[in-house]
Chain A
Amino acid sequence: MKKIRILALGAACLMVAPVFAMAGCAETDETIVLRVSNWEEYIDLGDWGDDEAIDIENEYTGEDYIMGVNSVVDDFTEWFNSQDYGFEVEVEYSTFGTNEDLYNQLNLGDVYDLVCPSDYMIMKLLDEGEIKPYSESFMDTSIETNYYINNVSPYIDGAEGSIFDEYSWNGIAACYMWGTTGFVFNPELVDSDARDVSACNILTNPDYYKSVTVKDNVRDAYFAALSILYEDELNAINANENISEEEKEAERSRLLNMTDEQTIAAAEDILKDIKENVYSFETDSGKTDMVTGKVIANYQWSGDAVYIMDQADEEETELWYSVPEESTNLWFDGWVMLKDGIAGSEQKQTAAEAFVNFLSRPDIAVRNMYYIGYTSSIAADEVFNYFDWCYGVVTDEESEDFYEFDNIYVYDVSYFFGDDSYIYIDMDTVAVENATLTHEYDDDEYVAGYPVYSGGTISMGRQAFGQYPTGDVIARSVVMQDFGDDLAAINQMWINVRCLDLADIDATTVIIVAIIITVIAVAIILYRFRYAIFYNRPRKKKTA
């Protein structure tokens, strides 16, 4: 059906084009091919069921719901070609599996105009001078269709003091998705107050022997190892009240970005312990292993954690997400234009920037969030409403979805959506410490007469917490830098960890192999000398 539509659209274009050409608009004939490379399963591919429509008004399409009928890429092409850009665009969409794959592809000569690598890979590409900055008009907030710069969270980009500002990425990269790293876990199978999963050292904890998985990724594994190595220092920094937040942040960032020889060697030892203790280093199996209950906890990116919790809910298993208390790796995936691809073509640049802006259009951001489970960088009202629609308690007693909760927590996401952005969520879905009762039964006008708690700290919760961690989680997070010149040493360290050390080969394996080799040797010898042994006569000479 989709194909027919595209064909029809193409046919329509073909038929219309000569008309325009005759009318003197020769430019419409031109088609720019935009080569986009994105992570696998990182964009809405459409085809939603009718019951999946999100109940939020969509001012951009004029519908009173948001849903993906066609893929975002198709929608972009259709939208772009209906605009007055003077040329048409065709998107050549491809995907990559890891940042390193993308980097290798680029080095082997693949050319893309727009790619979506993670923070450290952006740093690396920037250092190598591969990135083409966005135009000034892209960053101009006065243009209404600049959806990215007008809607991106001030916490991430655009505003002074935003993270992109700190790393001078303004105008270099446009943040697409972001998140934290933590543990998805089954609360029934860990200790009663889940203290064990609130620190990375669960990975080396013998109580969880062969029942936790880690991502098979050198950066995440190295971060976890450093979190274990510097656990005491990090906790001391977090608890220290005599130094400012900035100093704390700088100190945490310094510790978790150490790449000197001793640190790498210490990390190697820790990672070998981790390898001994964990169920596996997983590339993709972690999600299913978690849902099917093969493992108790999984060190995971927040977006995938949300996806896992959703999947588990369908299987009627309740999983939680916890961010380690010492620190967490705050990561970003951002769109960058590549010099090699754009090659000075203004039209390409326009098309690439329009693509990023289209993805940042609030309804599209919501669609992507719904489809892939990750958290968009866009902080528009639609996104906030979507967040509330998903996880917020229905406070309107008249509503048919109204349900009486005993305790409700004010979940504050002001750091991301701007002041006074909070939703009410059921306290059974967050583990709150030190919360204070803010509204009594009688005088609460917000939540239909139920107690409302506020102001506590949250280090674990369910999907809502996975998508937007609380401000104090954000405060203790660290952005992991590119390894730079130490990359080779860290890669070698990782290979050493993943190999089986001669010293680690256990005795039983050696004995089994030795026995088997002996048996084979004996069998061969018996076979060769069978005449002498079995039949007591010399071997026959070869007949001619």
Chain B
Amino acid sequence: MTKALKLRFNRRQLCIPYAAFLILFVICPLLVIIYYAFTDGTGQFTFDNLVQFFSNTNTLGTLLNSIAIAAVTTVVCLLIAYPVAYILARSKFKKKYVLLMLFVLPMWINFTLRITALKEILTAIESNIAMYPFLNTVIGMTYDFLPFMILPLYTSLSKLDKSLTEAAEDLGANSFTVFMRVILPLSVPGIISGVTMVLLPSMTNYVVLDMLYNSTYIMGSLIGSYFAAYDWNNGSMISLILLIIIFIITLATNRFNDNGESAGRTIL
């Protein structure tokens, strides 16, 4: 009894560094953000910042624009990454890690540098990139975030037990049915984590827009612009709103994730 207690106490002790980190760098800043979000310049409690965000068509437009860019980017990434990951995972090529490496290699190069290079390439193709800002932004975002989609998909697809697909084929399923009933459901966790890893950062990644979308603001640069203008209150409110949106998305995907896993389990 005492021994067990002691052990539990020790285990708790192991958590202390992480807890301290969490309190210092996550909880405290969050409280500061909440404080600033609901006060005005003089420190008085107010809902003005919230009202201002939802009553200004410019900030609302930015929110919708961010969501649109993020959604399109995620779908494009998924459509490109899934076949790639599937082929990689299925490939008989012995050195497939080399292939995977080739896809992940761009991640090693600085991201601003990559977008600068992309800008040159797009200029060579389109001659004036300012004409197609939305398209270019999606291309830029996809270029940046594709590896984040490929990796989780590859992991979940390569973990997939081959005997399951063989069994399905033995039982007379055609390749479409095998894909729909076996492979797709089992790769849902990979899809979910890929989507989360692409959707959320692409809502705030302003470097791409700075260079390819006429410096139009996305959520990240909107917050930055308020901070640069010494307006901590409105900036904090927008951060908070973004945080809540991200929280909701994460919650939704997690629910879906559970379903996906249970769907996988039904087959097993």
- Identify the A interface with B (CB < 8 A): 98, 100-101, 103-104, 107, 210-211, 216, 275, 278-283, 285, 294, 487-488, 491, 494-496, 498-505, 509, 512-513, 516-517, 519-520, 527, 530, 534, 540, 542-543
Q: Cβ of B65: which chain A residues have Cβ within 8 Å of it?
A: 500, 505
Q: Are B231 and A491 in contact (CB under 8 A)?
A: yes
Q: Cβ of B216: which chain A residues have Cβ within 8 Å of it?
A: 498-500
Q: Closest residue of chain A to B134, judged by CB?
A: A509
Q: Are A542 and B266 in contact (CB under 8 A)?
A: yes
Q: Are B58 and A543 in contact (CB under 8 A)?
A: no
B228 interface contact, C-beta 8 A? yes
Q: Which of A294, A530, A543 has a CB less than 8 Å from the CB of B123?
A: A294
Q: Are B68 and A540 in contact (CB under 8 A)?
A: no
Minimum distance in angstroms from A109 CB to a CB of chain B: 14
CA A280 to CA B262, docked complex, whole Å: 49
Provide a sorted-by-A list of 21 A–B residue pairs whose CB atoms are within 8 angstroms: A100-B230, A103-B230, A210-B130, A210-B131, A281-B214, A281-B215, A283-B210, A283-B215, A491-B225, A495-B225, A496-B56, A498-B217, A499-B58, A500-B65, A502-B58, A502-B64, A503-B57, A509-B68, A540-B266, A542-B262, A543-B265
Q: Are A488 and B229 in contact (CB under 8 A)?
A: yes
Q: Are B230 and A104 in contact (CB under 8 A)?
A: yes
Q: Are A512 and B215 in contact (CB under 8 A)?
A: no
Q: Cβ of B56: which chain A residues have Cβ within 8 Å of it?
A: 496
B241 interface contact, C-beta 8 A? no
- Produce 1/0 per residue, B206-231, CB < 8 A to A: 00001100111100011001101111
Q: Are A505 and B61 in contact (CB under 8 A)?
A: yes
Q: Are B230 and A513 in contact (CB under 8 A)?
A: no
Q: Are A216 and B75 in contact (CB under 8 A)?
A: no
Most chain A CB within a 10 A radius of its CB, from B184, B229, B262: B229
Q: Are A516 and B265 in contact (CB under 8 A)?
A: no
CA A101 to CA B228, docked complex, whole Å: 7
Q: Cβ of A211: which chain B residues have Cβ within 8 Å of it?
A: 128, 130
Q: Cβ of B230: which chain A residues have Cβ within 8 Å of it?
A: 100, 103-104, 107
CA A495 to CA B62, docked complex, whole Å: 10
Q: Cβ of A107: which chain B residues have Cβ within 8 Å of it?
A: 230
Q: Closest residue of chain B to A514, judged by CB?
A: B68
CA A504 to CA B64, docked complex, whole Å: 12
Minimum distance in angstroms from A139 CB to a CB of chain B: 33
Minimum distance in angstroms from A528 CB to a CB of chain B: 8
Question: Which residues 122-138 of B sit at the A interface, judged by CB distance below 8 A?
Answer: 123, 128-131, 134
B254 interface contact, C-beta 8 A? no
Q: Which secondary structure dominates where chain A touches chain B?
A: helix
Whether A499 touches B71, Cβ cut-off 8 Å, given contacts A282-B215, A488-B231, is no
Minimum distance in angstroms from B234 CB to a CB of chain A: 9
Q: Are A501 and B130 in contact (CB under 8 A)?
A: no
Whether A520 touches B75, Cβ cut-off 8 Å, given contacts A279-B130, A500-B65, A505-B61, is yes
B60 interface contact, C-beta 8 A? yes
Whether A512 touches B225, Cβ cut-off 8 Å, given contacts A499-B58, A499-B61, A504-B61, is no
Q: Are B62 and A499 in contact (CB under 8 A)?
A: yes
B113 interface contact, C-beta 8 A? no
Minimum distance in angstroms from B29 CB to a CB of chain A: 15
Q: Cβ of B217: which chain A residues have Cβ within 8 Å of it?
A: 495, 498-500
Q: Cβ of B128: which chain A residues have Cβ within 8 Å of it?
A: 210-211, 279, 294
Whether A104 touches B228, Cβ cut-off 8 Å, given contacts A279-B130, A496-B56, A501-B58, is yes
Minimum distance in angstroms from A538 CB to a CB of chain B: 12
Q: Cβ of A216: which chain B residues have Cβ within 8 Å of it?
A: 215
Q: Are B57 and A502 in contact (CB under 8 A)?
A: yes
Q: Closest residue of chain A to B260, judged by CB?
A: A527
7 tightest A-B contacts by CB? A499-B58, A491-B229, A210-B130, A281-B215, A502-B61, A502-B57, A499-B62
Q: Cβ of B130: which chain A residues have Cβ within 8 Å of it?
A: 210-211, 278-280
Q: Are B58 and A513 in contact (CB under 8 A)?
A: no
